[in-house]
A and B are shown apart, each in its own frame.
Chain A
Amino acid sequence: MIQFLLKRIGVVIPTFLGITVLAFALIHMIPGDPVLVMLGERNIDPAYYREAMHRMGLDLPLWQQYVNYLGRLLHGDLGTSLITQTPVMDEFLTLFPATLELSIAAMVFAVVFGLAAGIVAAVKRGTAVDHTVMGAALTGYSMPIFWWGLILIMVVSVHLGWTPVSGRLDIEFDIPPVTGLMLVDTLLSGDSGAFASALEHLILPAIVLGTIPLAVVARMTRSAMLEVLREDYIRTARAKGLSRTRVILKHALRNALMPVVTVIGLQVGTMLAGAVLTETIFSWPGIGKWLIDAISRRDYPVVQGGILLVASMIILVNLLVDLLYGVINPRIRHAR
């Protein structure tokens, strides 16, 4: 296990270095610079422009900027935003919990409903139920989620008035951020109204973000279940006279979980990409929106740091999934 872990980490380090180069190169290749973007149609004095670029360290040769950046990075310094002048890490830490909360909620939604749908479809294989569930899943999988979000807001929030339109919490509640996870913070504050409000705000974005993962989980669960249900030990278990529900839930599901776990791992990247759109639509103050804004404002340190942090997260999750894989199925460890 330890060896496996070390080997994986050995692979991660060059990947990491590559990501710093990629992030750095990409953002600096984008035409325009932060000073010009900020000024808009306002006039600019060339001397002032040179000075501003110098102050931001943007007049050095690119390779030197990169070396400086890497040097700071080794000291754990991700730099300071050129626009807000706050450390990138601070900004990330205040915004990340919002994305995390949204992603967890979306994942819970996707896994709970996806597993259920997949199991039902597998058990009722070939029936109308199966076709309906799988048809719905494929539709969900094909959904342009930005459009889905707009339509849901129109129908559920505006016309039916069931959920709030956007944001994380009603403005009347002033909850001090402790963990940054609104559900937890409102619980800690002891104000049940605030908790209900946080939950109401979370539902719609979580559904939108969870739609594609839900479809994937449902499809994966179904095919994994079908495969497992054919195995000898299931037939044996059934033959032993165990109840159908018991066999499905205890034996079949447990073995069908493995591919599902992989899918969940793979969906984390998709989820963060989807978060960019979902956060834009629901005005959700998370890192997706933060990064898109930073790209358009040419806030180099934020883009570099943000991409690095997001990439680390994806790598970390994939590593975890690999480990979990090993726990669920010990054979994998030896195979690798």
Chain B
Amino acid sequence: MNKYGLALGALLTLTAGGAMAAGTLVFCSEGSPAGFDPARYTTGTDFDASAETVFNRLTEFERGKTTIRSALAEKWTVSADGLTYTFNLRKGVKFHTTPYFKPTRDFNADDVVFTFERLIDKNHPFNKAAPAQYPYVTDMGMDTNIASVEKVDPYTVRFKLKAVDAAFLQNLAMSFSSVQSAEYANQLLKTNKAALINTQPIGTGPFVFKSYQKDAVIRFDANPTYWRKDELKLDKLIFAITPDASVRYQKLQKGECHLMAYPRPADLKAMQSNPQLQVTQQAGFNLGWVSYNVKHKPLDKVEVRQALDMAINKKAIIDAVYQGAGQLATNPMPPTQWSYNKSLKDAAYDVNKAKALLKKAGAEKLTITLWAMPVQRPYNPNAKLMAEMIQADWAKIGVNAKIVTYEWGEYIKRAKAGEDDTMLIGWNGDNGDPDNWLGVNLGCSAVGGNNYAQWCNKEFDDLIVKARNLSNQAERTKLYEQAQVVFKREVPFTPIAHSTVYMPMSKKVSGYMISPFALHSFYGVSLK
């Protein structure tokens, strides 16, 4: 049966491939984007379809890395106090020509000024015409920290900041900083159609938006005037929207698409042994963890947290939940993040010692809640399953954990309010800066926010605040390494795993690189 299926699959791949135009790449994506104005959104699904195809940014992440390279800004200078950034823009870059917009001029400083003024000024005329929120910009503190964006000359732009931001250049490479066309925006404003910026995007990127049918397909054509010619090796790019992971895999097997997003860990073995397919992988730039609410008794006692920590069989979780597609985590950041402290070790799995610790803390026969999110996240493919396993692990040391779940938005809201005892949560890195891990998830200022452990430790916080305001990477590294030691001693949460990112694709695809930021980009990719 299987052999027959495979042979037939191969046959179909051949016929389907033959019928398709040469250089048409089909990507089985996981969901419908909400729109094509990247600044309005926060998820990879939205960014893949706009920021990674239609748009460019001033700086960009190197393909497959967390370091940045020049893009629409050819070069830049930073003032000594770290508050003024001056960018020299690339010349001769053209915006897309489409049935709905014909550019009359090249990309210049006006476009950059428009892009960022729209994001930081709520009273910008364009925001009046097309009301929208820019949540990611707010989250990264960009709207409050940028004092001004000015055009020095047509190809020079100056940003003034209010406070030093060591990750500013990285933030400019993030999807929400995608550069829009001021000329197109004016055309939309004049014709009273400002809302179309979200459905008919115009950018300078490698692919030109062609059409979108919700829940079905997004079509792009190659940008014939793309400025980075060497990275454009396709004629057409198609997103076949397929929300179900097993269906995506079946389509990949039948040659109905060349690449698929988010394979189920359970399917990986079969994919790797399929001669038609290749599976590339990369250590995930993410972390899933169990958070302990230190404001709830007896979790305020470090012994109790240590006991719970050492009773979790992480290895078994990685085998069952991640199906081996995960890397055991010890630190509150992934190993690929600079400043990762390599000397830290997990407490050994030890049921008896855990029981003794609980006894010492006077917390035998403990009953607590264990929250599990209702959705699949990049760092945790199946929270319910993980919760069931941890529940069984804790039962062995006499801790009775009750699994609780709420609808996703509600889950986050209640968790931030500190209603949980223990909970599953995680994080995917935004910009490759250590503060994006330690500050965002463990800092005192994040209590009531992403610091789900409600943990405010002065020793830890002093270290990361000091590091945040330095720009020397070596000095910062030292401080962050110390902070991780404090973390490991106090156990505000138990890091479980870094989920490995897999990208199954047809053998015909070459040059694909996995983004650490859970994005899918197709510039530089070609078909054999």
Which residues of A line the B interface, CB within 8 A?
30-45, 48, 51-52, 55, 83-86, 91, 94-95, 153, 157-161, 164-168, 170-172, 174, 177, 280-286, 289-290, 296, 298
A45-B138, A167-B256, A285-B241 known; 6 new pairs, CB 8 Å cut-off, are A35-B135, A43-B440, A51-B133, A55-B133, A171-B256, A281-B247
Nearest B-chain residue to A37, judged by Cβ: B409
Establish whether residues A161 and B216, one from each chain, have CB atoms under 8 Å apart when the complex forms. no
Chain B residues with CB under 8 Å of A51's CB are: 122, 133
Q: Tell whether, in the assembled complex, residue A296 and residue B408 are in contact, meaning their CB atoms are under 8 Å apart.
A: yes
B120 interface contact, C-beta 8 A: no
B198/A280 in contact, CB under 8 A: no
Q: Contacts of B407 on A, CB cut-off 8 Å?
A: 30-32, 296
**16 examples of A-B residue contacts, CB within 8 angstroms:** A31-B407, A35-B133, A35-B135, A41-B377, A43-B450, A55-B133, A94-B213, A95-B214, A153-B247, A157-B250, A160-B5, A165-B247, A165-B251, A167-B216, A296-B407, A296-B408
- Asked if B139 and A55 sit within 8 Å, CB to CB, the answer is no
- Chain B, Cβ-Cβ closest to A282: B247
Closest residue on chain A to residue B379 by CB atoms? A41
Inter-subunit contact B254/A161 (CB<8 Å): yes
Docked CA distance A249–B332 (Å): 75
Q: How far is the CA of A39 from the CA of B412 in the complex (A)?
A: 9
**Tally of A-B residue pairs with Cβ under 8 A?**
155
Q: Within the assembled complex, what's the spacing in Å between the Cα atoms of A306 and B55?
A: 33
Instruction: Indicate whether B125 reaches chain A with its CB closer than 8 angstroms.
Output: no
Are B131 and A48 touching (Cβ within 8 A)?
no
Stretch at the interface among B8-16, B60-68, B310-318: B8-16
Contact of B256 among A86, A159, A164, A168 (CB under 8 A): A164
Query: Which of A31, A84, A280 is the one whose CB lies under 8 Å from B410?
Result: A31
Flag if A172 contacts B195 (CB, 8 Å).
no
The answer to whether A40 touches B450, judged by C-beta atoms less than 8 angstroms apart, is no
Q: Which of B9, B216, B242, B244 has the most CB of A within 10 A?
A: B216
Complex Cα distance, B254 from A313, in Å, reads 37
List residues of chain B with CB within 8 A of the CB of A177. 213
B232: CB under 8 A from chain A?
no
- CB-CB < 8 A to A281: which residues of B? 244, 247
**C-beta contact mask, B387-402 vs A, less than 8 Å → 1, else 0?**
0000000000000000
Known contacts A45-B138, A86-B199, A95-B215, A31 near B5 by CB under 8 Å: no
Q: What is the interface residue range for chain B against chain A?
A: 35 or more
Q: If the complex has contacts A41-B412, A42-B42, A285-B213, are A166 and B4 also in contact, measured as CB distance less than 8 A?
A: no
The distance in angstroms between the C-alpha atoms of A153 and B246, with both chains bound, is 10
Across the interface, B426 reaches (CB within 8 A) one of A41, A42, A160, A167, namely A41
Cβ 8 A contact of B247, one of A84, A85, A283 = A283
B219: contacting residue among A38, A167, A174, CB under 8 A: A174
Given contacts A153-B247, A158-B253, A159-B4, contact A32 B409 (CB under 8 A): yes
Q: Give the residue of B195, B240, B257, B425 whose beta carbon is less than 8 angstroms from that of A41.
A: B425
Chain A CB within 8 A of B504 CB: no
Among residues of A, the one whose C-beta sits closest to the C-beta of B144 is A45
Contact A167:B135 (CB < 8 A) given known A32-B407, A174-B219: no
Question: Of B21, B34, B241, B406, which one neighbours A84 at CB under 8 angstroms?
Answer: B34
Residues of A close to B412: CB separation below 8 A? 36, 39-41
A33 to chain B, nearest CB (A): 7
The reply to whether A166 and B247 form a contact with Cβ atoms under 8 Å apart is yes
Chain A's nearest CB lies how many Å from the CB of B28? 10
Instruction: Name the distance in Å between A80's Cβ and chain B's nearest Cβ.
Output: 9
Q: Does the CB pair A289–B215 fall under 8 Å?
A: yes
Bound form: Cα–Cα A146–B1 in Å:
23
Across the interface, do A166 and B136 meet the contact criterion of CB distance under 8 Å?
no
Q: In the complex, what's the smallest C-beta–C-beta distance from B196 to chain A, in angstroms?
A: 10
What A residues does B2 contact at CB under 8 A?
159
- CB-based contact A40/B406 at 8 Å: no
Contacts of B253 in A (CB 8 A): 158
Task: For A35, list chain B residues within 8 Å (CB).
Answer: 133, 135
Nearest CB in chain B: distance from A142 CB, A: 25
Q: A41-B425, A41-B426 are in contact. Are A31 and B406 (CB under 8 A)?
A: yes
Specify which chain B residues have a CB less than 8 angstroms from the CB of A91 in the assembled complex.
214
Q: Min CB distance, B139 to chain A, in Å?
A: 5
Taken together as a complex, chains A and B put the C-alpha atoms of A174 and B20 apart, in Å, by: 11
Would you call B135 and A172 a contact (CB within 8 A)?
no
- Contact yes or no, B251 A161, CB < 8 A: no
**Which of A161, A172, A280, A298 has a CB less than 8 Å from the CB of B19?**
A172
Residue in contact with B240 in the complex, picked from A40, A45, A85, A171, CB distance below 8 Å:
A171
The distance from the CB of A45 to the nearest CB of chain B, in whole angstroms, is 6
